[in-house]
Structure 1
């Protein structure tokens, strides 16, 4: 579990291919404090397990399916990645609960400056849009953000200067892909409401329905 508050911008070093999996090597420092083999670190919002590390880099295994489903497959040497250690029991939760399980990628459609803010608009799928609400939360490349607008599959967010400068969102250009994870509370609520609606629909047998079908 993570909070979506980025602790460090790391640097992608290389991707090593193994049997049925890949290993990512990433330069970092802050997120390696007190780290142990087997610990989780979110890389652009993707929960990965540390398999090897030193004072200035770590390696993590990643399955081919995960690479294809996220923007990790597009990383090139020198690219900046957002990093966050897994949430500790005594950690301050400054963002929202983030699982590190990416729902999909979204394509950047527009990046504009509005006073001291950066406004980013991206296109999401209908499957992802149904879990997003205005003023709700979403994690973009692992960054916990508030939804400014969501309409017609277009998600708009606003970034303060601190978030812009301290994450790799500042490197985004039109056409780039970002990892997106919607608020897990929204998913549970959506599922519960649809389950209740389904149950109610099945039980709506009125007197008129019985008469129309010859039962009374």
Structure 2
């Protein structure tokens, strides 16, 4: 489990394609300082398993399902990525509960610069819109954010200076694809209500 608080801005060093999968080599000395083979690290909000690790970074395999459902398949050497280690049970939950299971992708539709922050609007797949609410939480490229305004096919977020400086969201432009993970609590509530309504109707 993660919190959506990015620890390090990493860099893709190598992408090795293997047909229906890929192996990424990622520079990230902070997140690998205590990592071991088999550890989990979130890369742009996608939970990946460490295959090899050294003091400068790690490699991870990405399967077809992940390549299809996220923006990881479009990464190339030199691309910057948001990195986060899993939260410890004793840690503060600074963002919100993030699983590292991307639900889909969105596209940056607009950026409105302010004096100290940017308001960014991102497209929202129709199947995810019901999980996104004004002032609710959403994860964009692994970053826990508060929704400013939620619509049927888009949502907006306000990016503070820290987020702009320390994550890839400061680099994203109109047309860029971002990974989205909606709040898991909303999905569980929907599931429970669906089951309850089904039982009541039977």
Q: TM-score, normalised by structure 1?
A: 0.89
Q: Secondary structure at the match of 2:194?
A: helix
- CA distance in 2 between partners of 1:170 and 1:101 (Å): 23
Give me the whole-angstrom Cα distance separating, in 1, the residues matched to 2:107 and 2:70.
Answer: 12
CA distance in 2, matches of 1:115, 1:197: 48
User: Which structure has the bigger radius of gyration?
Assistant: 1
What residue is the counterpart of 2:107 in the other structure?
107
Q: For residue 57 of structure 1, report the CA deviation from its aligned partner.
A: 1.6
Matched, 1:14 2:14: yes
* Structure 2 residue runs without a partner (length 5+): none
Map residues 73-92 of structure 1 onto 2, 5 A cutoff.
73-92=73-92
Determine the structure 2 residue equivalent to 1:152: 152
For 1:5, what is the secondary structure of its paired residue?
Answer: coil
Q: Residue 190 of structure 2 corresponds to which residue in structure 1?
A: 190
State the 1:163 CA deviation. Answer: 0.9
Give deviations 1:170-205, integer Å, cap 9, x for gaps.
1111111100000000101122223333444x26xx
CA RMSD of superposed structures (Å): 1.3
Structure 1 residues 114 and 19: CA distance shift in structure 2, 3 A: closer
**CA distance in 1 between partners of 2:25 and 2:137 (Å):** 30
Which residues of structure 1 form unaligned runs of 5+?
Answer: 204-216
Structure 1's consecutive aligned runs of 4 or more residues displaced over 2 angstroms after TM superposition are: 17-21, 193-200
More helix by share: 1
Query: Any residues of structure 2 matched to 1:40-59 within 5 Å, and which?
Result: 40-59=40-59
TM-score (norm 2): 0.95
Q: Are the aligned partners of 2:44 and 2:142 in contact in 1 as well (CA < 8 Å)?
A: yes
- Residues 1:141 and 2:149 aligned together: no
How much does 1:19 deviate? 6.9
Measure, in 1, the Cα distance between the counterparts of 2:156 and 2:164.
15
Q: What CA distance in whole angstroms lies between the structure 2 residues aligned with 1:19 and 1:37?
A: 24
Work out the number of aligned pairs and report it: 202
